[in-house]
Each structure stands twice: as C-alpha cells, then as structure tokens.
Structure 1
Amino acid sequence: MSEEDTRYDASHIQVLEGWDAVRKRPGMYVGSTSERGLRQMVFEVADRAVNEVLAGRAASVDITLTPDGGVRVADDGPGVPIDETKGADGPGLEALLTQMHAGVRTGDRHDVTIGFCRVGPAVVNALSRRMTAEVRREGVRWVQEYARGVAITPLTKVGTATGSGTTITFWPDADIFGAAEFSFDGLEERFRELAFLNDGLKISLTDLRRPDESRSVRLRFPGGTRDFVDFLDGHTAASAPMDTIAFEREDPRMEGVMEAAFRWCSCSEGQVQSFANSRPTVGGTHTVGFRDGVAAAVTAYAREQGLLTSTDPDLGADRIGDGLTAVVSVKLDRPEFEGATRGVLGNSEVRYCVGQAVQDYLGRWLKEDPERAAAVIDQIVQGARRD
C-alpha cells in the first residue's frame, strides 16, 4: 500500500453545513425513513401543542392528514411568540422552526414527550420539502413559509385574527421518505395513550387523504387510567370478577406521582402496560414495585382467610398475573432511564413507593369486598397450584 493510499489529513474530512447533516442521516434524528420516521415527525411537531393543553394554556389539539400528503397540527393556545427573544412562552416562531432543540422542554413530571427522539420541530422542517406556520396572537394573524429548514418568506402580518393559536403544516420530503405514508392507526394508538394518561387532554385526529374513506377520532378520557384498563380489557370486561381498582398518590420520596389501575378477569392471559412520564416502557422499577405490592397484598389476605395452607409458599410476583390487566404510570421530576432507548425506568426508590401504595390499596379492597376478593384469590391460588 502506497503512502498516498494510507495518508489521512484534513482534506478527507467532510464538513456538512446547515441542515445537510440532518438530511444526509435522517435516521439519526427521527429513527428511520420509513413510516416510523414519518410518525415521529408528527410527534415532534405536536409535542409543543400537547404541552400547551396540559399547562392549561390551550383546550385542544387537532391533527389532520391532508389530501395533498401534508400534516396539519393546530392548537388554540396563546400562539407561539413571534419575536426572536425567548420569553415566558418559549422561543420565537422562527427560532422554534429553524434551531435544533429550541423549545424542547425539561422532561420533569409536568412535561409530556410524545415521541422518543426529542429533537424538536426544526428537524421536521429540515426534512420537509415545505412547511407553513400560522400564528394567531393578540388579535393579529402572522404567517411564514419554509423549505427544507430555511425560511423562504419573512414573518408577515396578514390581518386580524379571531381567537388565538398556532397551526403548523408540513409536507415530508419525498427525496428522503420515498413513497412511505403516515399510518393513521399508529398515530391514533400513541395519541390515545396520551389521552388516557393525561385526563385533561383533548386530541382530535382526522384523515382526509382519501375523501371516500375519511376517518376521524376524538380522544378524551376523564376516567384516566381506569378508562385505559377498560379499553385494554375490551370484550373480556364483562367476565371480570371485580371492579377496576384505580388510585393516584404523590410521594415525595420518589419526587413524583404514581397512578395505577388494575383488575382481574376470568381469562388466563394478562397484560401490564407501564409508562414513565407518559412514555411507554418495557419494564423497570415501577412495574417491579407494582407486582411486589400485588403479590404482598394477595398473599397476606389469602393467609388470613385460610386460602393458603402453612405449607403453601407465598404467592410470588410471577404468580399473580393470570387474568390481570393493569396500567402503571409514574410521573417523576427526575426520571432515570436505562439504555439509549429509554425503555426501562431505573429510579430505585420508585419500586418501594409503588409497591407500598399498591399493597395498601389492594389490601383495603380485599377486606372491604370479601365476596369478590374470594373469587380473585381463588383464581390466583388455583393457578399457582396448577403451575
């Protein structure tokens, strides 16, 4: 090999300017250039609007898949600030849409992150062939247009506004995403989760891409996690031997609040869905604590009632899942996740706090409704003995 072949100097380094880095490696920012990446684009734009509702500054969020392949995200909040200085309401419009991470929130218990990348709407702008923004603020309507991350018109006052709010519409760049299309079902699933986990949230999702097959859903669930369990149970709810147990408790030891809803039905399968700061998780200290608490309460009651003999072992956390449908949600000021995918919660104090709360609530329910308690305990004990 010649010296010329092995030489490496500054001439070999490629410097990408502006949004070139994002457009050259889009998967690093939105996960993929398939439907999953398109879905993440919607989440990055909708994130700010959803948090406006949860903060009490807006009443609803409306997402529309338009006939020309775009996505429109609208809210009725106070409107994004139009100046460039960051104030109490967040960054100005152009900064929000052209500076990466502008407007990305702190991640504490009051902050909902819809997707997983958390890169902000500016990345969506860079990956879109076109984006338009409309702000209705303080009686004035402002508009601006962008192409591939760059403003191509100045922020322009176009008249008076009725009401207030922000509408951002974007059209993904086909040079990057090819023929991939948005999945209405995939978007609905995630927005439905958010509406269940945040009972003040109201979201509408509308698909106008095919006029003869238009779809629309309105998502709002005042019952929160209790409604979530009912939804997950579906057709099996009628066979449940117990009502849904649901509670919420704030615990300063874990610097956050926990919510849990659960019940058993007569089927053999069970499902436990868990969330940390409204993000889906595949496990972690909150789910371990939940199972610990259920097992402890059920074992204690079964022994008091003579449903377990002195030779029977305690009912472990792996024995109480048959027929159990549960939603476990924690919202923490300082969530700690394991791994780059942030799918496993690691806060050690959460396990004890959740376990204690579940043991208290379930133990009280078992004593207050002995008839239904007997049906639940018998189902668990018999299943454990069969195993």
Structure 2
Amino acid sequence: MDTNKVELYIYDLSKGMAAAFSPMLIGKRIQGIWHTSIVVYNREYFFGSKGVESCNPGTTALERPLRVEVIGETQVPYSVFIDYLNGLSETTYAYNSLLLEERRKTLKEKLIRKEKKREKKRKKILESGGELPPELKEDFAMADTDTVNGQSQLPSDEAFALEEEEERREEEAKKKAREPPIVYKDIIDVKVEFDALVALIDGKLNPEEQRATEELQQYMIGDEGSWALSDGFLDFVGRLLNDTQLSVDVRVKTLNVLAMAALKDDVILVLHQDRKDHILMNYAFEIDRLSIQEQEAIALFVFDDVAVELTMALLQYFNSKPPEEQLYRCMKALAKFVQVSTQEVPQLIQMIGPDPRSFKGVSDRVDSLVDQIALKLR
C-alpha cells in the first residue's frame, strides 16, 4: 500500500508586519497573522474565498510558506480522499456553512478564555512580587500601559471567579448532553478471556513476549495504569494478531481483552504508541479478509476514530458484492459504527458509497440492518 507524506504549510499573511507594528498599534506583540494549508498527494489544500480550494504546493498568492512541518503519513487512496474532501467542501466546510460559522464562534470563545487566563496568571505573578517569564513579560508590559485614571484594566479576581464558574457549568452541561457511550462490558469477562489467551499461547512465546503477557495482566487484571506496558508491548500484540501459526482463537481472545482495555481512561496513551507502526489499524483495515469471529471481535473494540477507519474498509468490501452471510455481518458492524460515530461515519458512507440501501432485498435480516443505518443518513 502506497504511503504519502502529509505536510503543514504555515504562512504569515502580514509578511512580518504584524510582529513589527502590533506593539504600537494594539499595545502588545502579535507574532503573525496565520494562514495554514495541508499538502498531500503533491497538492496544497486550504480554505479560501470559495471554501475548500487547492493548487500546486507553494503557488498561492502568498508564495512560499514561512514554515513547513511534516505532520505524518497517510495510506488512504487518493480517490477515497478526494471524494471525501469534495463531500466535506459541499457540506460541513462549505463557505457559507452554518456549522463552520459555529466552529469559528467556538474557536473565538476559546481564544478569549485563553487570553483571560494568561492575564490572570500575569496579575498573580506581579501581585506576589515575582518576575514574569519571558513569554508573558513583553505582552504584559504593553498591555499594562492601557489604564484609566491610573488604574489597571485587568479583570478583577471576582470577575475571573465568576467566569471560571460559568465555564465549569458549561462543561458540565456539555457532559450531561452527550449520548452515553456504547459499551459491551457485560458480555466479556476479561479475566476469563485473559486466562483463555494465556492457555492458547502457553509454550509459544519467547522471554520478552512472556514479560509482555505479564504486563497485560497487570494492566487489565491488576488494574494498573498504562505505565505498566513497555515500549515493545504493541510488537507483542502485533505478533498475536498476525502470526498465522497461531489459531484464530488467539486473535479473538486478544481483541476481546483489548476491547475491555478501550474502557480504561488511559487507553489513549496505548493507542498513541501505535501511531508509528499502525499495528492495530493495519489489522483492522483488512477486516474484509478476516474470519467472522475476528470481525465480531473487532466490532467490540471500536470508538470514534477506529469506527471511521473500519467503515472505509467495509465500504470497499461492499463493492465486491459479498454473499449474504458476510454482508449481514458487515452490515451489523456498520449499524454499530453509525451509533458510535454519529457524524463522521454517516458522512463517510454518503461520500464514498455504496449506499447501504442498495442492498435492500438481499434478505430480511439485512433489510432490518439497512433500515437502522438509513435512519442515521441524511
């Protein structure tokens, strides 16, 4: 599978003038007026006057970027990427999109809150007689010249307290408004699954892999944090998932244990370790080639980011006109994915296709799942 580099181009729209003149004009230094774009597949993509636009890298009116940062790689086929991007440019990221305007408003509010916190930190440091760190000193000196009748215009402690209380209430309201996560805690006994896994791989591991098994036990059974897992832990998982000499049951038990790990608060730290070699993602990407038992196990180990990747694999598999049994299993997984990721998965289905409704009539049980999925599509 081809790999393409993904770069971030960073431009200063002011060409250095913001940094030079902002202290005199607004009382504090602004390093730049930033514009960014993404470069991938030898094409530069950015949000312009007509919405999502593209050009050859470095050929915009801004000429060469101030800085270029490599932010990763992608193995997504270009045809899938461009279809998805075109869909977003006509919906979520259309120039006059109400959702985009809402995101702008949210970002503006976050920046205002961040600046207020910076001002509060500056005030506390000065009141305690401390010295401002370099990143606060210059901005504060400029801002402090703006006074009325000799009194600083920094917000009072009472105002900050009221703002923080309001922010706390807003966060609590957002948490209450969220849909509860879909979990399968009641159908998996992690200790039973782990013991079964150990029995299946007994005598088949080298010393390093045996240590990784003990680490997994500490993490899952002993309820330790992800700190218990060594740097080579995912290599051990990769062997269990990809070694064809091991039975299918080994892979199923491994996935079931990992499904329970997905309920732990620090599982994201484990997944971050997978960003380099993509052991878990590459395995899930081949879902159409896996056994039914493995597909069902993968479906349990799903949350928003993984659901999108697996959905892409399922949609590609649908193009092969699978038989009824495989189609039913895949539709069952897809029905769960649209519940887990209520926005991105339905959007991906509509952008890439095929439309699940095109499989209506294959069987009653497939029709039932298609109807469930259709409720989530616009």
TM over 0.5: no
More helix by share: 2
User: Which bin holds the TM-score, normalised by the shorter protein?
Assistant: under 0.3
> Which has the bigger relative contact order, CA under 8 A and spacing at least 6?
1
